[in-house]
Amino acid sequence: MDGADHHAPAIAARDDVEIRLGAEAVHLPVVRAVAVTIAMRADLDLDAISDLELAVDEACSSLIVLARPDSLLICRFTVRDEEIVFRASVASDREPPSTQTFGWRVLTTLTDRARGWARAGQVHIELAKAKPVSAPEGRAEEIH
């Protein structure tokens, strides 16, 4: 079970965070808390912080349903200059979630990019949330 991680690149020393947990809903608050902390530290706005948290919750929930019993949920957050990328996977022989469902609509509404795929006994979901473009100095005052 372990070692079945197909995340391509090795974890980047500086900006990646990876957590592995039992694929059980009871652990979801941990993943949500990490998502919120990372989004806040990346200085996303409050809407985007909450959206990312909700999307991570939705993605993990749908993966947990597909997971083989007693398998791991592997989550990785990558903070890039322009976006936060979240990837999660579980060991499963099933298909990734259908993109025609309400659940998938939730993911695509809350993030800027969502895709799911199955490969080598793992189902993956990847989400990306854009970081806000830094507002030019004084913009807030201008608007006011």
Partner 1 sequence: MNSTTTAPPRVRARHPGRREGEYDRFDPLFERLTTLAAGSAEHTRLRERLIAEHLPVARHIARRFSGRGEPESDLVQVATIGLINAVDRYDPHYGRGFLPFAVPTIKGEVQRHFRDATWAMRVPRRMKELHLQLVRASGDLADRLGRSPRPSELAEHLGISRDEVLDGLAAAAAYRPASLDRPLRKDDDTSDGYGEQLGETDDALDIVDDAEYLRPALRKLPERERRIIALRFFRHMTQSQIARAVGISQMHVSRLLARSLAALRHELGGRPGG
Q: 6 or 105: whose CB is closer to partner 1?
A: 105
What are the residue ranges of helices labelled H in 42-101? 46-66
Tokens of 42: 């990346």
Q: Give which of 30, 28, 14, 6 is closest to 125, Cα–Cα.
A: 6
Tokens of 62: 């749908």
Interaction between residue 103 and partner 1 (CB under 8 A): yes
Q: Give which of 70, 77, 62 is closest to 118, Cα–Cα.
A: 62
Strand partners, 73: 21, 90
Among 24, 70, 82, 95, binds partner 1 (CB under 8 A): 24
Residues 42-81 that bind partner 1 (CB under 8 A): 43-51, 53-54, 57-58, 61-62, 64-65
Q: 7 or 63: whose CB is closer to partner 1?
A: 63
Provide the minimum distance between the beta carbon of 76 and partner 1 in the complex, in angstroms, as a whole number. 21
Q: What are the phi and psi torsion angles at 51 (to 5°)? A: -60, -45
Among 12, 20, 40, 113, binds partner 1 (CB under 8 A): 40
Interaction between residue 118 and partner 1 (CB under 8 A): no
Tell the residue number behind the tokens 């993605």, with chain if given: 59
Interaction between residue 140 and partner 1 (CB under 8 A): yes
* H/E segment holding residue 42: none
Residues of this chain that bind partner 1 (CB under 8 A)? 24-26, 28, 33, 36-37, 40-41, 43-51, 53-54, 57-58, 61-62, 64-65, 98, 100-106, 109, 132, 140, 143-144
